[in-house]
């Protein structure tokens, strides 16, 4: 009986409100626009995540932190303390925002959340590596040096222009029993002392022109190498030189990539 | 005309409403008002609240009818709106926030091919769920209601709740287990 009363009342009231125009039917365009905005939002967040992820790679490679784990325990310490964790947290935040945005679509909610998140992380990492291989970050870093990068400039200067002072990356200019001379990315010529404590790797030949990563210890303005490793191959694997680029783009690469 | 209305499927009626035949929305209300009132009665105690929420469900569905894809099931679409409205009302009424984060949706689970009514007879479960067991968590209760009372299949429930099909199976299984525990505790 109560249910019948509810029914009559519900039907009548809904139809009355439709008839008197107090409830409007939203247009199809409204829903299409909403879906388009969702997609655009998701694409924008995805691009931001890819950009930041590739910038993290660029930053750790350019500052030399990337090569530190190869030095063992002390190298790992330097890597962990100089890694841009804040940027990585931002990337993860973007991935979670992205997951929330795509959760509205059938392809996402019909699968466990962990699949969506892993797929998004995979896309961001793969695309980030690809973007890192392009000249974009070198170009933007140059712009930041010139002061022509208003928004991202401070980020480039903070995370990519200068790294941990214990790390040196440079091209060997000369090697003696007590000293190596390197030319850094900035073109600076530096002498670094080597002694019996310096770990140089067994059977490694250090020739002029080899690009090396050095962990240094400062003692009264004198730099002593705690460890030296060649990094040519690693640089090659991330160098944009294998990708197609126009002849006018050569100036976009930092000297580091052109050693 | 009346006969024509009755022979049309829900999806055809919704399509006609989308194309401007607003009168046919009344036929959709006629078809679903009992179901909506029954569905709302599983979660809301007050008759006035039930009536208000069902009214809101139909008003929302009329307002959003252009977003309905006529290649999909109208019933799932309408129950999705009902689910959202009821969840919003429960959140509003609840002193402690309802926790809708669910690890069951996070990780993959194998889809169970076990007949759900193997342990408890279907009729018995229907009777228990229909009894509005207050103690049961909302997330289990709504899956049990949709499956046993509203006679939805796993895919429909997955569409309505926007959760993976495997999670529907997990919640259904756990919901039945919790029902058994509750019954055991009362006896």
Phi first, then psi, for residue A92 (nearest 5°) are -65, -40
- Highest averaged pLDDT of the listed ranges A37-46, A214-223, A234-243: A37-46
* Mean pLDDT rounded to a whole number for chain A: 83
Fold of B2-93: Rna Polymerase Sigma Factor; Chain: A (1.10.1740)
Taking CB atoms and an 8 Å cut-off, how many pairs form between chains A and B?
80
pLDDT of A259 reads 39
Under 8 Å between Cβ of A138 and A257? yes
Whether residues B33 and A7 touch (CB distance < 8 A) is answered with: yes
Under 8 Å between Cβ of A74 and A226? yes
pLDDT of B75 reads 95
pLDDT in tens, A14-34: 999 998 888 999 999 999 999
Fold of B104-186: Arc Repressor Mutant, subunit A (1.10.10)
Q: pLDDT tens for chain B, 187 residues: list them.
A: 566 667 889 999 999 999 988 889 999 999 999 999 999 988 888 888 999 999 999 999 999 999 999 899 999 999 999 999 999 998 888 765 555 556 666 667 666 555 555 455 666 676 666 665 667 888 888 999 999 888 899 999 999 999 999 899 999 988 888 887 877 765 5
Q: B164 in contact with A at a CB cutoff of 8 Å?
A: yes
Render the burial of A63-78: b for 16+ CB within 10 Å, e for the rest.
Answer: bbbbbbebbeeebeeb
CA distance B122 to chain A (A): 25
- Put simply, whether the predicted model's pTM sits higher than 0.90 gets the answer no
Q: Nearest to residue A117, comparing CAs of A92, A134, A153, A152?
A: A92
Residue A242 has pLDDT above 50, yes or no: no
Reported confidence tier of residue A48, pLDDT bands at 50, 70, 90: very high
And the tokens for B66?
Answer: 């252009």
pLDDT of A256 reads 40
Strand partners, A171: A183, A211
pLDDT of B2 reads 62
Whether residues B105 and A113 touch (CB distance < 8 A) is answered with: yes
Nearest CB to A10: which of B25, B55, B67?
B55
ipTM: 0.78
* Mean pLDDT rounded to a whole number for chain B: 83
pLDDT of A10 reads 85
Under 8 Å between Cβ of B50 and B44? yes
Residues of B in contact with A10 (CB under 8 A): 29, 33, 37, 51, 54-55, 58
Reported confidence tier of residue A70, pLDDT bands at 50, 70, 90: confident
A158 or A45, which is more confident:
A45
Q: Where are the domains of chain B?
A: 2-93, 104-186
Reported confidence tier of residue A148, pLDDT bands at 50, 70, 90: confident
β A222-230/A167-175 pair status: unpaired
Whether residues A30 and B66 touch (CB distance < 8 A) is answered with: yes
pLDDT in tens, A95-131: 999 999 998 888 888 888 899 999 999 999 999 999 9
pLDDT of B122 reads 67
pLDDT of A243 reads 31
Q: What percent of chain A has pLDDT over 90?
A: 37
The domains located in chain A, with CATH, are 28-161 (no CATH), 167-237 (2.40.50.320)
Question: Can you tell me the distance from the alpha carbon of B167 to that of B176, in angstroms, rounded to the nearest whole number?
Answer: 14
- Residue linked to tokens 């210890």: A217
């Amino acid at each position: 009986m109560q249910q019948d009363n509810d029914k009559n009342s519900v039907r009548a009231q809904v139809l009355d409100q439709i008839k008197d125009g107090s409830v409007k039917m939203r247009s199809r365009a409204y829903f299409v626009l909403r879906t388009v905005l969702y997609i655009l939002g998701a694409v924008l967040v995805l691009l931001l995540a890819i950009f930041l992820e590739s910038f993290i790679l660029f930053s750790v490679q350019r500052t030399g932190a990337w090569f530190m784990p190869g030095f063992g325990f002390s190298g790992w310490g330097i890597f962990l303390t100089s890694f841009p964790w804040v940027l990585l947290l931002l990337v993860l935040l973007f991935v979670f925002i992205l997951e929330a945005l795509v959760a509205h679509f059938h392809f996402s909610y019909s699968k466990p959340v962990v699949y969506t998140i892993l797929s998004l992380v995979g896309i961001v990492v793969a695309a980030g590596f690809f973007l890192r291989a392009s000249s974009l970050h070198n170009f933007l870093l140059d712009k930041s040096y010139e002061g022509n990068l208003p928004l991202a400039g401070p980020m480039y200067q903070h995370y990519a222009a200068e790294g941990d002072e214990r790390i040196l990356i440079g091209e060997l200019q000369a090697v003696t029993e007590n000293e190596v001379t390197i030319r850094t990315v900035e073109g600076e010529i530096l002498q670094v002392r080597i002694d019996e404590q310096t770990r140089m790797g067994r059977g490694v030949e250090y020739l002029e022109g080899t690009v090396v990563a050095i962990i240094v210890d400062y003692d009264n303005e004198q730099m002593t190498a705690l460890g030296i490793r060649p990094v040519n191959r690693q640089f090659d694997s991330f160098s944009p030189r294998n990708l197609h680029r126009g002849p006018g783009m050569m100036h976009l690469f930092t000297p580091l990539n052109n050693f | 005309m009346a006969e024509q209305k009755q022979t049309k499927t829900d999806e055809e009626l919704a399509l006609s409403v989308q194309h401007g035949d607003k009168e046919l929305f009344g036929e959709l209300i006629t078809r679903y008002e009992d179901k909506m009132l029954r569905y709302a009665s599983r979660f809301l105690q007050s008759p006035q609240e039930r009536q208000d929420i069902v009214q809101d469900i139909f008003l929302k569905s009329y307002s959003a009818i252009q977003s309905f894809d006529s290649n999909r099931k109208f019933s799932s679409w309408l129950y999705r709106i009902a689910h959202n409205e009821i969840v919003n009302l429960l959140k509003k009424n609840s002193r402690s926030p309802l926790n809708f984060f669910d690890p069951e949706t996070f990780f993959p689970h194998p889809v169970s091919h076990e007949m759900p009514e193997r342990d408890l007879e279907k009729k018995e479960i229907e009777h228990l769920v229909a009894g509005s067991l207050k103690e049961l968590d909302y997330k289990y209760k709504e899956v049990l209601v949709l499956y046993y009372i509203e006679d939805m299949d796993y895919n429909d429930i997955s569409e309505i709740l926007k959760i993976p099909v495997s999670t529907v199976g997990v919640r259904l299984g756990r919901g039945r287990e919790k029902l058994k525990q509750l019954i055991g505790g009362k006896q």
